[in-house]
Chains A and B, each alone.
Chain A
Amino acid sequence: MIRNVLEMLEHSAARVPDKTALKDEHESLTYREYMDAAQRIGTYLLKNVTKDSYNKPVAVVIDRNVWSVAAFMGVVYSGNFYVPIDNTMPAERVKLIYDTLEPVAVIDGRLKDGDVIEGAIPVKDMLGEPADEEMLKKVRMNSIDTDPLYGVFTSGSTGVPKGIVPCHRSIVDWVEAMADAFGFDENMVHGSQAPFDFDAFVKDIYNAMRNGATVVIIPRKLFSMPKLLFEFLVEHNVNMLVWAVSAMRIVADFKAFGAIDKLPDLRYVMFSGEVMPIKALNYWIENIPQAMYVNLYGPTETTCNCTYYIVPEGKQDELKPLPIGKPFRNCRVVILDDKREKVITEPGVKGELCVSGTCLALGYWNNPEKTKEAFFRDPTITAYNSILYGTGDVAYYAENGDLMFASRRDFQIKHMGHRIELGEIEVALNAIPFIDIAVCLYDEARGKIVCCYQSETEDTKAIVKFLSDKLPKFMWPNIYKRYEKLPANKNGKIDRAALKEEIKKR
């Protein structure tokens, strides 16, 4: 049994050493080169930086290049876990993440000249260190499969991002389950869309690593220029897409298949992140009918995805929501009632979707309270210790037993593929001096974040300017409404329900 993801890398490096493992716009690495670079980086860390520390976070400042990925695996070789950091985020948010994380080292995976991060080690400087096999072997001997593998930060309702930390075993188990369910092989060429600091990117690198397949990293700017995007996919023989729903919607919104090659080689289109609009899905199915379409569901806490639904052939009924389907093997899903006491089994009755099994992350880094809240003891099992993760997603069973997503039970939203706590935006808004109080709502029908604020001054530009120092762009509200006085309910609290009704009527 595989205990450590590096066994998958080493296995592929032995089996298909000269095959391209990773490819970006400018450079590529074969499996042998990929492993070699990772071992060098791992040795460098062990000798010069992390030394005896293990299971500690190492931050990797990312760019969409192959060396950032090699750095991830280098960190794993050192016996620690990697946390991708997107340095284009506002400095304040990066600082909040570092404060929670307390990384033992920072690797700069970017190759741009002139932009230096103090204290960070440029990845290319580490490649001169020859791999020390003895040293790496010792680290591996001591590793167990429940050691943390990576950390992904997500929006937190109190204004501080939470770091979700999955372990090796969860990934090894999940890629096996994926291979079982879909029959991947080494001829897969992933067209990777996901940002490196999302758990969606994990799907590309570890599935490919297991299968000896190729990951082609798509430059981000191509997503606004779809003609160039598809030319890129054809040029690199991409036959598999594991994409965010938002990226698939862009293609549909632009009607991008009108003028371009229809990707005859595409075999799989897997999507996740938010509810897929059937219209957009049908646009894809009409233009690329030969591919298998799969709806993947699952929060980062369940290590990528916990359920899947293979879309039946042909166009789908636009009036029916797409199921999230059935759990992957070795993963259990239950629906609990509002009090998290009873299990719901009858079709149509809504409750919270909860997950148990090897897929569960180890928790939130340095945050025992939040971890306890979300990862709790299964109330239906008292004789032994069984942990459930409460997703906060409201779901139900269809008559045929398929799981269906309904809504959220809190203020978390899915906006353009990003998981956002409205509370985090509100914390930032309420720190603006001229705003008395502000609330954020989500207009689902239009896909817009709406900010309602109480102030004597109306100044959208000043608000955006302020937010741009605190929050990444995907968290900025899209619509601003100023009020002399925000409506209150009878308890004196801001009447969100009334505001929501107002937005609906717009």
Chain B
Amino acid sequence: MEELLRIMSEVRPDIDFETEDKLIDNEMLDSLDIVAIVTDVNDEFDVEINVNDLLPENFNSAKALYELIQKLQYE
């Protein structure tokens, strides 16, 4: 989780990822942020987030994204 928070804060230093839970619904992250985060996550966690995983419920919070990563790692 620490690692994920670091990745996300590097892309957007202005957002508090520990508390925000409407990153997509409130349009806090834009498409370019998502591209950057997904690229880094795929590299660092050795997973493959594909287009079917790109849904608001997986990206609205750092916690949700972390759960997706764990699910993908388990598969």
Residues of A whose CB lies within 8 Å of any CB of B are: 220-221, 223-228, 246-247, 250, 253-256, 258-260, 416, 460-461, 464-465, 468, 473
Most chain A CB within a 10 A radius of its CB, from B13, B14, B30, B51: B51
Instruction: Say whether, besides A224-B31, A250-B35, A468 and B54 are in contact (CB < 8 Å).
Output: no
Task: A221-B56, A225-B56, A460-B13 are known; give 15 further A-B pairs, CB within 8 A.
Answer: A220-B27, A224-B30, A224-B31, A224-B54, A224-B59, A225-B24, A228-B55, A246-B32, A250-B32, A250-B35, A256-B51, A416-B32, A464-B13, A464-B14, A465-B14
For the complex, count residues of B whose C-beta is within 8 A of A.
Answer: 20
Most chain B CB within a 10 A radius of its CB, from A224, A256, A260, A416: A224
B34 near A: Cβ within 8 Å?
yes
Can you spell out 15 A-B residue pairs with CB atoms less than 8 angstroms apart?
A221-B27, A223-B31, A224-B24, A224-B30, A224-B54, A225-B59, A227-B54, A227-B55, A228-B56, A250-B35, A253-B35, A255-B50, A256-B51, A259-B52, A461-B13
CA A391 – CA B4 in complex, angstroms? 43
B31: A residues at CB distance < 8 A: 223-224, 247, 250
B29 near A: Cβ within 8 Å?
yes
B46 near A: Cβ within 8 Å?
no
| A-contact bits for B36-55, CB 8 A (1 contact / 0 none) | 00100000000000111011
What is the distance, in angstroms, from A166's C-beta to the closest C-beta of chain B?
Answer: 28
CA A246 – CA B51 in complex, angstroms? 18
B35: A residues at CB distance < 8 A: 250, 253-254
B33 near A: Cβ within 8 Å?
yes
Residue of B with least CB distance to A250: B31
Residue of A with least CB distance to B53: A227
B32: A residues at CB distance < 8 A: 246, 250, 416
Neighbour of A226 across the interface among B27, B33, B54, CB < 8 A: B54
CA A227 – CA B50 in complex, angstroms? 10
CA A260 – CA B31 in complex, angstroms? 18
The list of the 7 closest CB pairs from A to B, nearest first, reads: A223-B31, A224-B31, A224-B34, A464-B13, A250-B31, A461-B13, A256-B51
Tell me the B51-71 residues at the A interface (CB within 8 Å).
51-52, 54-56, 59
CB <8 Å contact, A225 and B54: yes
CA A226 – CA B52 in complex, angstroms? 9
CA A473 – CA B32 in complex, angstroms? 11
CB <8 Å contact, A221 and B24: yes
CA A226 – CA B24 in complex, angstroms? 13
Neighbour of A255 across the interface among B13, B24, B51, CB < 8 A: B51
Residue of A with least CB distance to B38: A254
Tell me the B5-39 residues at the A interface (CB within 8 Å).
13-14, 24-25, 27, 29-35, 38
CB <8 Å contact, B50 and A258: yes
CA A309 – CA B16 in complex, angstroms? 45
B59: A residues at CB distance < 8 A: 224-225
B27: A residues at CB distance < 8 A: 220-221
Most chain B CB within a 10 A radius of its CB, from A225, A460, A473: A225
A227: B residues at CB distance < 8 A: 51-52, 54-55
Residue of B with least CB distance to A447: B32
CA A254 – CA B50 in complex, angstroms? 7
What is the distance, in angstroms, from B26's C-beta to the closest C-beta of chain A?
Answer: 9
Neighbour of A260 across the interface among B14, B25, B33, B51, CB < 8 A: B51
Residue of A with least CB distance to B35: A253
CA A461 – CA B38 in complex, angstroms? 22
CB <8 Å contact, A224 and B50: no
Most chain A CB within a 10 A radius of its CB, from B29, B33, B35, B59: B35
CA A406 – CA B50 in complex, angstroms? 35
B25: A residues at CB distance < 8 A: 221
CB <8 Å contact, A473 and B30: yes
Residue of A with least CB distance to B54: A225
A226: B residues at CB distance < 8 A: 51, 54
A461: B residues at CB distance < 8 A: 13
Neighbour of A224 across the interface among B14, B33, B52, CB < 8 A: B33
What is the distance, in angstroms, from A299's C-beta to the closest C-beta of chain B?
Answer: 22
What is the distance, in angstroms, from A58's C-beta to the closest C-beta of chain B?
Answer: 26
What is the distance, in angstroms, from B12's C-beta to the closest C-beta of chain A?
Answer: 8
CB <8 Å contact, B24 and A259: no
A224: B residues at CB distance < 8 A: 24, 29-31, 33-34, 54, 59
